Structure 1
Amino acid sequence: MTTAPRVVVARPVPEVAVVTLDRPERMNSLAFDLVVPLRDELRRLHDDTSVRAVVLTGAGRGFCSGADQSGERGQVPHVEGLTQPSVALRAMEVLDEVVITLRGLHQPVIAAVNGPAIGGGLCLALACDIRVAAEPAYFRAAGINNGLTASELGLSYLLPRAVGSSRAFEIMLTGRDVPAAEASAIGLVSAVVPPAELLDHCVALGSRVAAFSRPGVELTKRTLWSSLDASSLTSHMQQEALGQLYVRLLTANFEEAVEARHEGRAPVFRDRR
Structure 2
Amino acid sequence: MSALPTPATDTSQSSKTLRTDRQGPILSIELNTPDQGNAITETLLDELLAVLDTQDPDVRVIVLSGAGPDFCQGGDRSEYAEQLAQDPTGGGIRISGTKARRVCEALSTNAAVTIARIQGKAIGAGLALALACDLRVGAENATFRLPELALGLPTAWGGLFPRLLSEVGVARVRELILTSRAFTAQEAHAFSILQNVVPEPDLDTAVTAWAKPILRRSTTALRVNKLLFNAHGAASRLVDASGLDAELMASVLAETEYLRSQGQRRTGRLI
- TM bucket (normalised to shorter chain) is 0.7 to 0.9
Larger radius of gyration: 1
- Secondary structure at the aligned position of 2:28 is classed as strand
- Is residue 200 of structure 2 the alignment partner of residue 195 of structure 1? yes
> 1:4, 1:158 → 2: CA distance?
29
Alignment partner of 1:220 is 2:225: yes
Q: 2:72 aligns with which of 56, 64, 68?
A: 64
CA distance in 2, matches of 1:191, 1:150: 25
Number of matched pairs: 222
> Structure 2: which 5+ residue stretches go unaligned?
1-13, 238-271
| Pair 1:25–1:116, CA change in 2 (3 A) | same
CA distance in structure 1 between the aligned counterparts of 2:88 and 2:172, rounded to whole angstroms? 40
Is 2:100 the partner of 1:95?
Answer: yes
Which residues of 2 match residues 111-150 of structure 1 at below 5 A? 111-150=116-155
Q: How does 1:46-85 map to 2 (within 5 A)?
A: 48-71=56-79, 85=90
The 2-side partners of 1:117 and 1:100 are apart by: 19
How many angstroms does 1:50 deviate by? Answer: 2.4
- CA RMSD of the aligned region, Å? 2.4
Runs of 5+ unmatched residues, structure 1: 76-80, 233-273
Question: What is the DSSP-based 3-state SS (H/G/I as helix, E as strand, rest coil) of the residue aligned with 1:56?
Answer: strand
Partner of 1:31: 41
Residue type at the aligned position of 1:8? R
SS of aligned partner of 1:228:
helix
Instruction: Report the counterpart of residue 50 of structure 2 in structure 1.
Output: 40
Deviations 1:27-72 (A, max 9, x none): 1001122121011111222xx1221111101000111111113459
Quick check: 2:61–2:112 contact (8 Å CA) kept in 1? Answer: yes
Alpha-carbon spacing, 1:214–1:97, altered in 2? closer, same or farther (3 Å): same
Matched residue SS, 1:19:
strand
Partner of 2:28: 18
The code of the aligned residue for 2:24 comes to P
Whole-Å Cα distance in 2 between the matches of residues 183 and 29 of structure 1?
A: 21
Tell me how far apart the structure 2 counterparts of residues 43 and 83 of structure 1 sit (CA, whole Å): 31
TM-score, structure 1 as length reference? 0.75
- What letter matches 1:162 in structure 2? E
Query: How far apart are the structure 2 equivalents of 1:74 and 1:104?
Result: 32
How far apart are residue 4 of structure 1 and its match? 5.2
Q: SS at the partner of 1:49? A: coil
Q: Which range moved further: 21-30 or 35-44?
A: 35-44
In structure 2, how many angstroms separate the alpha carbons of the residues matched to 1:4 and 1:228? 34
Q: Distance in 1 between matches of 2:167 and 2:199?
A: 23
State the partner residue of 2:234: 229
